[in-house]
Amino acid sequence: MQLRASLFPPCPVPYSLLIRNCGQLLTLAGGPTDRPLTGAALTDWQVLTDAFVACEGERIVAVGPMAALDEAKVTAETVVVDAGGRVVMPGLVECHTHLVFAGNRAQEFQRKLQGESYLDILASGGGILSTVRATRAASEAELLANALRHLEGFRRYGITTLEAKSGYGLDKDTELRLVRVAREAGRRQPVRVVPTFLGAHVVPPEYKGRGAAYLDFLATEVLPELRGEAEFVDIFCEEGAFSVPDSRRYLARARELGFGLKIHAEQLHDLGGSAMAAELGAVSVDHCDYLNAADAGRIAAAGATVAVLLPLVPLFLRQSTYAPGRQLIEQGVPVALSTDFNPGSCPSKNLWLALSVACLKMGFTLKEAVAAVTLNAAWALNRAAEIGSLVVGKRADMLVLDLRDYQEIPYWLGENPVQQVIIGGQAQQDS
């Protein structure tokens, strides 16, 4: 055997894909691996200069300085991407979207710009219920075509994993259809889609004034059918939507059925929904614009609940209150950033813009903001073991940016810096 081994040395498995000459490689590595990044760890992660990333299949198998690259594994079969000194980083993780809906609310936006109030628009049949009507009336094929078109837009912005909530059906058939469409959309194109059930978005007209009865209906009739279909259950805890006690009961039932938990809370009022959900073990608490310091402390103490901040929402709604990002970071709360893509309060897929606005309006620093759209956003989807950083063994979701210095990321306000998207080790042709 010894002789055979010396006569026929094992042939190294070639890399299937190599990104070489990364001027700056934002690995996001170096912090704790058992919990989201908080405090100083949000900025302590590693940046390699003049580096490479190599993959076999859909996994990363080597990361390091160019001087350490094993050229023997670079063969004619290897797809080589020469970053030419540019910035390379993990694919963006978009951890809060309402991907699947029909129609749009451009006309309503015009009315708002001309001074009509949200309540005026609601009273005339506008607002979320107009999207519900359009969505209920749309065919499954139409909803799927819309979702695929939006996913393609997200992919061009470098989003490689995306959470997609239901919530514009508000009846059993339509809500199940929306989750089905999200899953099917995930199968038909490369961006990984994580479905969340948000049947508890608002109280539907059929249950007007009977929010608790609607939640009972969802918990009894709909949630059992979603096991294995939707990973998370979410609820909009807000005045005019669902109260904290009703939200608590509903989320507790969802948890018993095995779902991960999320909540929309403290968007417009400080009701205490975020801290309540963190104590139930929610994977994320989202919005947090009106979160108070005491509740932030309770979320930090809960340990693993990520506060998902959505800076484009107050911008689009022309509100002056943004989530207290700086304060949350200083209190040790794990933070992530997302667009909240939806037809009413944020019709933007531009997570780069959200990142810049978080720096401008929430006090994020550059490295904190980058961590918040990658590794911590992966934590907000319970996917941090798989994605969010460039380390050996993780899925090879990566971006080459047309930038030489990552300080430029929040600076080119509203631009898309993505030059090349790689998803699961596959270079996307049209990116």
Burial of 183 (0-12, 13-18, 19+ CB in 10 A): middle
Query: Per-residue contact track with Zn ion, 75 to 114, x per CB under 5 A?
Result: ----------------------------------------
Instruction: Please state the closest distance from residue 29 (CB atom) to Zn ion, in A.
Output: 30
Taking CB under 5 A as the binding criterion, the range among 269-277, 324-332, 335-343, 373-381 that sits at the site for Zn ion is 335-343
Instruction: Please state the closest distance from residue 196 (CB atom) to Zn ion, in A.
Output: 10
Strands 87-90, 79-82: parallel, antiparallel or unpaired by DSSP? Answer: unpaired
Instruction: Please state the closest distance from residue 158 (CB atom) to Zn ion, in A.
Output: 21
Q: How far is CA 50 from the centre of its chain?
A: 29
The residues in 368-387 that bind Zn ion, with binding defined as CB under 5 A, are none
Instruction: Please state the closest distance from residue 167 (CB atom) to Zn ion, in A.
Output: 8
Based on CB atoms, which residue is closest to Zn ion, 108 or 340?
Answer: 340
Is 267 marked as binding a ligand?
Answer: yes
CA atoms within 13 Å, Cβ hemisphere of 289: 18
Query: Per-residue contact track with Zn ion, 160 to 179, x per CB under 5 A?
Result: --------------------
Taking CB under 5 A as the binding criterion, the range among 134-142, 314-322, 336-344, 377-385 that sits at the site for Zn ion is 336-344
Residue 217 to residue 130: CA distance in whole angstroms: 22
Concatenated DSSP letters for 219-247? IIIIGGGGTTT-SEEEEEESTTSB-HHHH
Binding residues for Zn ion, total number by CB under 5 A: 1
Q: Using N-to-C axis directions, what is the helix angle for 140-156 and 172-188, rounded to 10°?
A: 50
Is 320 marked as binding a ligand?
Answer: no
Residue found by looking up tokens 């484009």 in the block = 312
Burial of 325 (0-12, 13-18, 19+ CB in 10 A): buried
The residues in 20-59 that bind Zn ion, with binding defined as CB under 5 A, are none
Residue 76 to residue 68: CA distance in whole angstroms: 20
Based on CB atoms, which residue is closest to Zn ion, 340 or 397?
Answer: 340
Taking CB under 5 A as the binding criterion, the range among 30-38, 131-139, 339-347, 365-373 that sits at the site for Zn ion is 339-347
Instruction: Please state the closest distance from residue 180 (CB atom) to Zn ion, in A.
Output: 20
Is 82 marked as binding a ligand?
Answer: no
Instruction: Please state the closest distance from residue 79 (CB atom) to Zn ion, in A.
Output: 37
Is 411 marked as binding a ligand?
Answer: no
Run of H or E including 264: strand 260-265
Q: How far is CA 359 from the centre of its chain?
A: 18
Is 105 marked as binding a ligand?
Answer: yes
Concatenated DSSP letters for 284-346? EEEE-TT--HHHHHHHHHH-S-EEEE-THHHHHTT-S----HHHHHHTT--EEE----BTTTB
Pick left, alpha or beta for residue 165 (phi over 0 → left; psi -120 to 50 → alpha; otherwise beta): beta
Based on CB atoms, which residue is closest to Zn ion, 20 or 96?
Answer: 96
Output the CA torsion 124→130→132→138 (10° steps): 140
Taking CB under 5 A as the binding criterion, the range among 53-61, 150-158, 248-256, 340-348 that sits at the site for Zn ion is 340-348
| DSSP code at position 395 | B
Of the residues 231, 246, 340, 397, which one makes contact with Zn ion according to CB under 5 A: 340
Instruction: Please state the closest distance from residue 162 (CB atom) to Zn ion, in A.
Output: 13
Instruction: Please state the closest distance from residue 96 (CB atom) to Zn ion, in A.
Output: 6
Is 273 marked as binding a ligand?
Answer: no
Based on CB atoms, which residue is closest to Zn ion, 238 or 340?
Answer: 340
Q: Using N-to-C axis directions, what is the helix angle for 128-137 and 172-188, rounded to 10°?
A: 80
Q: Which residue is nearest to Zn ion (CB)?
A: 340
Taking CB under 5 A as the binding criterion, the range among 2-10, 67-75, 334-342, 353-361 that sits at the site for Zn ion is 334-342
Positions at the binding site: 96, 98, 105, 168, 201, 264, 267, 340, 342, 344-345
Positions at the binding site for Zn(2+): 96, 98, 264, 340
Contact residues for Zn ion (CB under 5 A)? 340
